Amino acid sequence: AQSVTQLGSHVSVSEGALVLLRCNYSSSVPPYLFWYVQYPNQGLQLLLKYTSAATLVKGINGFEAEFKKSETSFHLTKPSAHMSDAAEYFCAVSGGRLTGGGNKLTFGTGTQLKVEL
């Protein structure tokens, strides 16, 4: 079974400050990891994905994440927050091809990012 834990249900940063959203995973097989963003009353948009290639993954809107196997982490960062980054962010894991079980996503409980002036 796979799972992800997002530490901090609410994170508040000042505009221009570093954004750090934490995600730890648990998986019995090499995982595929994803970060999605959800704006109010909308669906999920993929920010970036890790699929066992480069450990530092760059995504859209200036976000990036680093896969650290030793720490079982996949934290999301952005050097400088913008007001438009205010949204809910979800970390998700799937088992990848080794599980033979399709691409079902298991999501964390989400982190609400607030950006203040």
* Site residues (vs other proteins, CB under 8 A): 32, 34, 36, 41-46, 49, 51, 90, 92, 94, 96-97, 101-110
Question: By C-beta, is 4 or 115 nearer to other proteins?
Answer: 4
- Shortest gap between Cβ of 2 and other proteins (angstroms)? 11
- Shortest gap between Cβ of 55 and other proteins (angstroms)? 16
Question: By C-beta, is 13 or 31 nearer to other proteins?
Answer: 31
Q: Residues 60, 66, 71, 76: what is their CA dihedral angle, to the nearest 10 degrees?
A: -30
C-alpha distance across the termini of the chain, in Å: 41
Structure tokens at 22: 């934490």
Question: By C-beta, is 9 or 80 nearer to other proteins?
Answer: 9
**98 φ/ψ sector (left φ>0, alpha ψ -120 to 50, else beta):** alpha
